[in-house]
Amino acid sequence: MAREKNITPLLAAGGRSSRRARISCPGLGQGGGRSVRGRARCRGGMAPSMLVGCLWFLMIAFMFFAQHHVCDAYFVPAINVFVGKMKRSDNTWLQRWGQEAVAGATICALGCNGPEMFTNLISLYTGSDAGIGVVVGSEIFNLLIIVGLTISAAPVLPLALERVPFARDCMFYALSIVLLYWALLDHKIEAYEAWVLLAAAGVYVACVYFTDDFVQCIPALRPEKAEVGSESPSKKKGTMHGVEVDVEEILHGRMVDAHGGATEKWNLDATEHGIYAEPNKPPAEPEPKANARGSLGFTFAGGGDALLGPMLKYKDLKEVVLMDMGVINLEFIHNLQHITLRLTVEDAAKRTELLNNIQEYSLCRPWVHGYDATIRGAWQHLYHTMVSKDPLLDKLLAIPHFLIDGLLKLTLFAVDVKDVRKEGRWPLCFVGAMFWLAIFSFFMLEIANQIHYNIPALPNSFLGITVCAIGTSFPNAVASVLMAQQNKPAAAIANALGSNVQNVFLAMALPWVIFQFQYGGKPIDQNVAGIDEGVLWMSGTLLLVVFFVFLPPFCKLSYAYGPVLVSVYLAYLVITSGETFHWWPPLVN
């Protein structure tokens, strides 16, 4: 067979080449080189099929769900346990590591960027072109889609930004783009270049750690009093049916720590109409007014910052999970939104009374069960869904959920920190989640290879920068919308920018350091023919957001900017697709 080296651009028709030689096969077109494994399939495997390629898209979607489930069920909970321990530490320096901003820029960044980091790491060993594309695509997705949707979902507009953190993150994001371009300019990654990028991550963390001290030293930079404490606490203390409980509202997503916040006293009362909530103060009126708090559902502080809007309704209450040590989890699911209300009731008799009232008023619709960290718990969840009156779609989705959940419970049941008795094992839970993230990232890249083999017009780099980037970042977009509805849109935007910074400094640099350490510091060959266009899109999207921020009113984002940013991302997909399919020439040669 004739052999021909195939060097293709990152965005248009290829990606970086691995340390292995890239060789094209007849019939595969010019859409990216093949590794040795792919060439073997080309010689003796099944002939390419468009139908088979389309079916592989279902499998790659399954891998996206698997990655998200690992993060949501094990990776982020382990991180949250660590953050909680730091908050409760007697050492003031350790307490700062439990602050949302510092934790979000450090260990929480691993929860947010874990899929991208492991995808890039695995791609170095498998020779896939998708690794660097996933990171670049995620950068553009985060800045355009997450910021755009956050603005659109914000309850109060124009959206005011915290000036110092926003300026800091923008400067470091610009620095990350410059350093990335510098590292890839000579078509290879030297050991010192990887270490410079990784060291920049440490500098960024240090700047985040000392931002508050810097602000306090300069009076002009201090936020107005109205901005301080504007974010609602996620943990409250109150009474439900006369039972005093701790109430913690948990956001399911990778963007930020889900458990931050102070403690307040709250009165919660579940009636036949729904669950009412109000501050634990002497009531001004003997009976609650329906028009003041709504006639149905659950609400925090008059409904301004509840995750599912003004109220949580009984129809959205899917599960009541009985944990240990007096903890009850109320699982609310509404469309793509999923939150947990964690109630702590010390008295067993009061806990039974509380459960009986919830079951009575919710007409026994939610599934009440104990938490089982073993595979038996996954089977019980599947069985309940199949025999329940849930829609057919929920029953179909329960099957892939069981396959992933069962596999994870089978291997991680002993270190599942959602069981409060096992919170001390959070480091093992963290390591176990990292292991499964690496496994699922490997399969995602292999499936991308199969898609490219069966549909040669779709190179691996294009799949990485579009399909894989969207799939790995989509849960972050959902989480950002939830945060915006919780009246935390500025925090969602800050986490999107911080995630982009660490995407380059961690998700790219750390795999390079690990790979070079194993191979004696040898340079990693990179095909970066399309890096100019990648840098152009990353820089252009950042400049667009900064331009909007400088428009009047200064440092505020109006509603019209949200649809504009989303539209720019759609234009980016169209332009990138056109370049890949040779409908028009690349923007940058």
- Residue 480 counted as domain residue: yes
Query: What residues of the chain score a pLDDT lower than 50?
Result: 1-44, 226-234, 241, 256-265, 267, 273, 277-310
Residue 567: how many other CB atoms lie within 10 Å? 12
Instruction: Give the contacts of 393 (CB within 8 A, at least 6 positions apart).
Output: none
Domain that holds residue 262: 236-279+308-391
pLDDT at site 464: 86
pLDDT at site 100: 66
pLDDT at site 178: 94
CA 324 to chain CA centroid, nearest Å: 28
First to last CA, the chain: 31
d(CA 40, CA 42): 5
Residue 74 corresponds to which tokens in the numbers above?
A: 């094990």
CA-wise closest residue to 124 among 500, 502, 515, 422: 515
Same domain, residue pair 59 and 118: yes
Same domain, residue pair 102 and 194: yes
pLDDT at site 275: 54
> What radius of gyration, in Å, describes the C-alpha atoms of the chain?
25
pLDDT at site 245: 65
Same domain, residue pair 211 and 243: no
d(CA 357, CA 537): 55
- Residue 11 counted as domain residue: no
- Residue 26 counted as domain residue: no
CA 391 to chain CA centroid, nearest Å: 27
Same domain, residue pair 214 and 241: no
d(CA 491, CA 104): 10
Same domain, residue pair 74 and 165: yes
Q: Domain holding 372: CATH number?
A: 2.30.29
Domain boundary among 341, 374, 391: 391
Same domain, residue pair 192 and 242: no
Containing 486, the helix (H) or strand (E) segment is: none
pLDDT at site 5: 36
Q: What is the residue type of 227?
A: E
Domain boundary among 352, 376, 391: 391
Cis peptide before 115 (omega within 30 of 0): no
- Residue 474 counted as domain residue: yes
- Residue 93 counted as domain residue: yes
Under 8 Å between Cβ of 65 and 404:
yes
Instruction: Give the contacts of 164 (CB within 8 A, at least 6 positions apart).
Output: 211, 214, 215, 221
Number of domains in the chain: 2
- Residue 289 counted as domain residue: no
- Residue 330 counted as domain residue: yes
Same domain, residue pair 483 and 451: yes
3-class secondary structure for 229-266? CCCCCCEEEEEECCEEEEEEEEECCCCCCCCCCCCCEE
pLDDT at site 489: 77
Same domain, residue pair 502 and 455: yes
Containing 334, the helix (H) or strand (E) segment is: strand 327-334
Same domain, residue pair 206 and 101: yes
pLDDT at site 299: 39
pLDDT at site 185: 85
Under 8 Å between Cβ of 571 and 565:
no
Same domain, residue pair 259 and 363: yes
d(CA 370, CA 392): 25
- Residue 1 counted as domain residue: no
Same domain, residue pair 434 and 563: yes
Same domain, residue pair 267 and 124: no
pLDDT at site 32: 41
Q: Domain holding 550: CATH number?
A: 1.20.1420.30
d(CA 331, CA 393): 19
Under 8 Å between Cβ of 568 and 538:
no
